[in-house]
Amino acid sequence: MTTNAHIEKKRLDNPPASIKFKIQRREKEGAASHWETFEIPYRRNLNVISALMDIRKNPVTIEGKQTTPPVWDMSCLEQVCGICTMVIDGKVRQSCSALIDDLLLASGGDTVTLAPMSKFPNVRDLKVDRSKMFDHLKQVEAWIELDGTYDLGPGPHVTNELAQERYSYSRCMTCGCCLEACPQYGDDNYIGPQAIAQAHLFNMHPTGKANIDDRLNGLMGDDGITNCGNAQNCIKVCPMGIPLTKAIYETNRDITVNALFGWLKK
Amino acid sequence: MAVKFSNTFLLRKLHQLTGIIPLGMFYFVHLWTNSAALNGAKVFDDHVQDIHNFPYLLLIEIFGIFVPLVFHSVYGILISAEAKPNVLNYGYVRNWFYLFQRATGIFLFFFLLFHILNFRFGLIPGLNLIPVAGNADKAYSIVSGEFQITWVMVIYIIGILATAWHLAYGFFLFAVDWGIVIGEKAQKVVLYGCLSLAVMLGVAGINAAFAFVRPCGLLPTALCEEPHKAETNAPKKF
């Protein structure tokens, strides 16, 4: 997106007087889910979060039934924390940056459908537990070992290209879009692009390289990188434009060279 | 520290490898033999006889085709069972390809079962009952007899197209899964290459199938060697 994209943004010429929100509700983890529809007056510059805030003020469904206010997660409201991720009109994205005008222009209707991400435990309504992704970061040891007992001096020099590439991976906000859209992820049989990209981020670092085998080991398990099905949805839905597929294939090469044909060096 | 392989990792790599090395290679030989039918019954039967004359034929059949095929197809079905297709919400081209690869794989499992029983063993009741294996002199007449039946021909055409897709896209998947083709641009180039290969394999396969019902398949007959002419031009025996 160019920096001027917000100026060129399309708006609804004849917005409806009111818009409907079909929201998937669940009282608590393990409870059955059901749908509830709410209606709020349209106003300019609404996004999904501000619409949810309007609904929360007066949680009455279109049938006139008084209900509990919908629960969702939010924090930064500028698409850098990733916590407000949900499935909006069938596609996973951050609700803070999902503008109602864009959604209605795309669907051509006056209803927006909201559901929690399906690949994570659903805590309540639109709120999910994303701790699995942090377990995956531990599994691939996505960090650099420094014990801090003595001064290592200045860090190693890296080329501008490497720094740029590592920067693009470092933008991951652990939102879960890539895992939600992945047709292979789920049931704990695949670690997913998020952790693979973070392993690659540290494998690329001149100091982190020393522990490449530890990270590859975390990716070689029964739920590892090899279960990638190459549907490449991850790179399409990543809100930070991280080259996730490149991380997967670079790591595939690392594994082919270091693990699969590693014995040829012995 | 050494890297440990999990069973899943080894099985997946073996699945990718068996698809390319024994099975992919075999398919090119198979298509080559089929295409011999363009030049008539005798040329095709001779080609089949040449295969019968291979040394270690039974071992090649068992360990070069049968074992890899069973492994590749059974494990492939297990992989497909893990898929949670979502093309309706995420209708990206590569996501469709992901689904096609699994759909063609499952179809080919049943198609190949039929195909092998039908021709290699001649065991499908109501259809051909003579195995091509051991009857090279009847190979052309067996196949052309089957292909006169419309529904059999239709099934074979779908099978040929599914194989063309599955193998050509399989080459692409192998290249990315083994970290050979990494970058976005390079993947695009290789993907287009593999898609053209799919078209070529599909066209050549269908043309070879039609060669069993019409001389020279779908091509003008002038492009093919006429069988009797080929015989008269053959060097005389002394």
pLDDT values of chain B reduced to their tens digit, one per residue, 238 residues:
567 889 999 999 999 999 999 999 999 999 999 999 999 999 999 999 999 999 999 999 999 999 999 999 999 999 999 999 999 999 999 999 999 999 999 999 999 999 999 999 999 999 999 999 999 999 999 999 999 999 999 999 999 999 999 999 999 999 999 999 999 999 999 999 999 999 999 999 999 999 999 988 898 888 887 655 545 555 555 5
Could you list the residue range(s) of the whole structural domain that residue B44 is in? 10-224
Strands (E), A42-88: 85-88
Specify the pLDDT at position B37: 94
Q: Is the pLDDT of residue A33 over 60?
A: yes
Which residues in chain B (63-82) have CB-CB distances under 8 A to chain A? 79, 82
Q: Is A73 on the interface with B (CB under 8 A)?
A: no
Specify the pLDDT at position B228: 56
Q: How far is B61 from chain A (nearest CA, A)?
A: 28
Q: How many CB atoms lie within 10 A of CB A63?
A: 8
| Contact predicate A72/A127, CB 8 Å | yes
Q: How many CB atoms lie within 10 A of CB A199?
A: 29
Percent of chain A with pLDDT over 90: 83
Contacts of B15 (CB under 8 A, 6+ apart): B71, B72, B75, B76, B79
B54, part of any domain: yes
B112, part of any domain: yes
Which residues in chain A (116-175) have CB-CB distances under 8 A to chain B? none
- Nearest CA-CA partner of B4 in A116, A263, A113, A168: A263
| Mean pLDDT, range A25-50, rounded to an integer | 95
Please give the CATH topology (third level) of the domain spanning A131-265. Fumarate Reductase Iron-sulfur Protein; Chain B, domain 2 (1.10.1060)
Specify the pLDDT at position B237: 57
User: What CATH number does the domain containing B81 carry?
Assistant: 1.20.1300.10
State the complex-level ipTM. 0.92
B188, part of any domain: yes
Q: In angstroms, what CA-CA distances link B216 with B25, B49, B157, B225?
A: 25, 20, 17, 8
B3, part of any domain: no
Q: Which two tokens stand for residue B28?
A: 């090119």
Contacts of B71 (CB under 8 A, 6+ apart): B14, B15, B18
Looking at domain A5-128, its CATH superfamily turns out to be Beta-grasp domain (3.10.20.30)
Which residues in chain B (85-104) have CB-CB distances under 8 A to chain A? 85-86, 88-90, 92, 94-95, 97-99
Q: How confident is the model at residue A201 (pLDDT cuts 50, 70, 90)?
A: very high
DSSP category for residue A66: B
Work out how many domains chain B is built from and give that number: 1
B84 to chain A: nearest residue by CA?
A183
| Mean pLDDT, range A208-233, rounded to an integer | 93
B74, part of any domain: yes
B4, part of any domain: no
B49, part of any domain: yes
Per-domain residue ranges for chain A?
5-128, 131-265
Q: Is B222 on the interface with A (CB under 8 A)?
A: no
Report chain A's mean pLDDT, rounded to a whole number. 93
Contacts of B148 (CB under 8 A, 6+ apart): B213
From the candidates B8, B190, B191, which should be mutated to test the interface with A, based on the most A CB atoms within 10 A? Answer: B8
CB contact under 8 A, A233 and B95: yes
Q: How confident is the model at residue A89 (pLDDT cuts 50, 70, 90)?
A: very high
pTM value surpassing 0.90: yes
Specify the pLDDT at position A96: 96
Q: Which two tokens stand for residue A52?
A: 């949810």
| Mean pLDDT, range A20-34, rounded to an integer | 96
3-state DSSP helix/strand/coil % of chain A, to nearest 5: 35, 15, 50
